Amino acid sequence: MGRYVARRLLQMIPVFIGTTLLIFLMVNVLPGDPVAALWGDKPPDPAQMAIIRKDLGLDLPLWQQYLNYLGGLLQGDFGTTIAGNRPVLDQMTDAFPVSIRLGLMAFTFELVLGLFFGVLAGVKRGKVIDTGVTVFTLMVISIPVFVLGLVSQQVFGTQLGWVSPNVKDSMDMAQLVLPAIVLGSLSLAYVARLTRTSIAENARADYMRTAVAKGLPQRRIVSMHLLRNSLIPVVTYLGTDIGALMAGAVVTEGIFNVQGVGQLLFEALARREGSIIVGIVTVFVLIYLLANLLVDLLYAVLDPRIRYA
């Protein structure tokens, strides 16, 4: 087990380097000049630009810039922004807690309701409830998040006035409820569908027949045997979804004005702030890798047949 985890962690190193390099290169081919952007729509001052570039190390060859960046990263230094000369880390520590909150709220929402609907539909397969859940989830999946966001903002925010259409304080959980629901809705539908399918599959498995034949009570069969075995694909999905929720929030955050990572990245992209873009994407890839490891370890808990050596 320990060795397995160690190996997985070691595997992350090349992925980490590959990701940062890829994004670093991508950011560098973006059109536009972040230093010139300091002048907005006025003509920039070449002499000043040269000095600013030199101070930020932007005049060095690309490979050297990358090494410098990587070197800084290992010491926990994400670099400084070109506009305003502020540490990137500060900006990220402002934005990540917001996104984590939003992500966790959306996650809870999708987990609780998704599992509930999924189990309901799976157990009552073929009944009216099943059809209802199927139709509902299909519909949620087919409405793009930005349409859902725009419409719910308009309806619940502007028209009905139940919530404030724009989030004013991004750290206030109450204001994040609607964005979280919008954000989590798509995953909710996926979780429900996945759970339903998985339960339907497992309901016909041999061990289920055995359990029924043994005369175990229905409740115990469902909770101990059926659910536990059916959860494996769901857990896989949920594991990768934590990161995806935070990263996928760029649209939701934009619509509801949540000052999270998505917004920060959107602005960074517009200003060509390379170090912010690379920093954020790197963190997302790390989250994704760690979540995957966690999922694989959870497998062992859920399925006794799986053992990691």
Partner 1 sequence: MPENTLKKDKPTVEEPAVAVAEAGPAPDKPRSLAADAWADLCRKPLFLLSGLLILFLLLVSAFPGLFSSTDPTAGDLSKHFLTKPELSHVFQPDWFGYDNQGRSIYARVVYGTRVSILVGVGVTVLVTVVGGLMGMLAGYFGGIWDTLLSRITDVFFGIPFILGAMVVLNAFTERTVWTVIGALAFLGWTAIARVMRGAVITARHADYVLAAKALGAGTSRILFRHILPNAIAPVIVVATIQLGVYIVAESTLSYLGLGLGTNEVSWGGDIDTASDHIRNAPHILFFPAGMLSITVLAFIMLGDAVREALDPKLR
Partner 2 sequence: MRGAKSAKWVAIAAVVALGATACGGGGTEEANANKEVDPNGIVSYANGEPQNPLQPANTMEAYGSVTIEAIFSGLVDYNDKGEITMTNAESVTPDKDNKVWTVKLKKGWKFHNGEEVTAKSFVDAWNWAANVENKQVNSSWFSDIEGYADVHPEKGKPKKDKMSGLKVVDDQTFTITLADGIPYFHYKLAYPVFSPLPSGFFKDPEGYGEKPVGNGPYKLKSWEHKKSIQLVRNDDYKGPDKAKNGGIDLKAYTSDTAAYNDLVSNNVDSMPIVPNSELANYKEDLGDRAIEQDYSAINTINPAFYTKQWKDIDVKVLQGLSMAIDRDTINKTVFFGTRESATSWVAKGVLGYEADTCGEFCKYNPKKAKALIKEGGGVPGNKISIQYNADQPHKDWVVAVCNSIKQATGVECEGDAKTDFQADLKVRDAKQVKSMYRSGWVLDYPFNGNFLRDLFGTGVAGNKADFSDKKFDDLVKKADAAATVEESAKLYTQAEKQLANTFPGIPLWYNRTISGHSENVKNMKFGQDGDPIFTEVEVYKK
Two tokens, residue 212: 């029924």
- Which regions of the chain does DSSP assign to beta strands (E)? none
- Looking at the Cβ atoms of 40 and 304, the one nearer to partner 2 is 40
CA 115, CA 133: separation in Å to the nearest integer?
12
Q: Which does 201 bind (CB under 5 to 8 A by kind): partner 1, partner 2, none?
A: partner 1
Q: What residues contact 296, with CB distance under 8 A and at least 6 apart?
A: 8, 308
Q: Which of 10, 13, 29, 47 binds partner 2 (CB under 8 A)?
A: 47
Site for partner 1 in 81-120 (CB under 8 A): none
- Looking at the Cβ atoms of 51 and 112, the one nearer to partner 2 is 51
> CB of 148 within 8 A of CB of 185?
yes
CA 53, CA 48: separation in Å to the nearest integer?
9
Q: Which of 11, 28, 48, 108 binds partner 2 (CB under 8 A)?
A: 48
Q: Token match 């949620």: residue?
A: 140
Largest CA distance in the chain: 85
If one asks whether residue 200 binds partner 1 (CB under 8 A), the answer comes out as yes
If one asks whether residue 277 binds partner 1 (CB under 8 A), the answer comes out as yes
> CB of 308 within 8 A of CB of 50?
no
Q: Which does 141 bind (CB under 5 to 8 A by kind): partner 2, partner 1, none?
A: partner 1
Q: Which does 26 bind (CB under 5 to 8 A by kind): partner 1, partner 2, none?
A: partner 1
In eight-state DSSP terms, residue 87 is B
| Contacts with partner 2, 65-84, as mask; x by CB under 8 A | ------------------xx
If one asks whether residue 31 binds partner 1 (CB under 8 A), the answer comes out as yes
* Partners of 80 in beta bridges: 87
Q: Which amino acid is at 163?
A: V
Positive or negative, the CA dihedral 208, 214, 217, 220 is: negative
CA 69, CA 24: separation in Å to the nearest integer?
9
Site for partner 1 in 109-168 (CB under 8 A): 138-139, 141-147, 150-151, 154, 158
Supply angle C-alpha 95, 34, 57, rounded to 5. Answer: 95
Contacting residues toward partner 1, per CB under 8 A: 11, 14-15, 18-19, 22-23, 26-27, 29-31, 138-139, 141-147, 150-151, 154, 158, 197, 200-201, 243-244, 247-248, 250-251, 254, 262, 265-266, 269, 277, 280-281, 284-286, 288-289
Contacting residues toward partner 2, per CB under 8 A: 30-34, 36-43, 45-48, 50-52, 55, 83-84, 94, 128-129, 131-133, 135-136, 139-140, 143, 151-152, 154-155, 158-159, 164-168, 257, 259, 263, 269-272
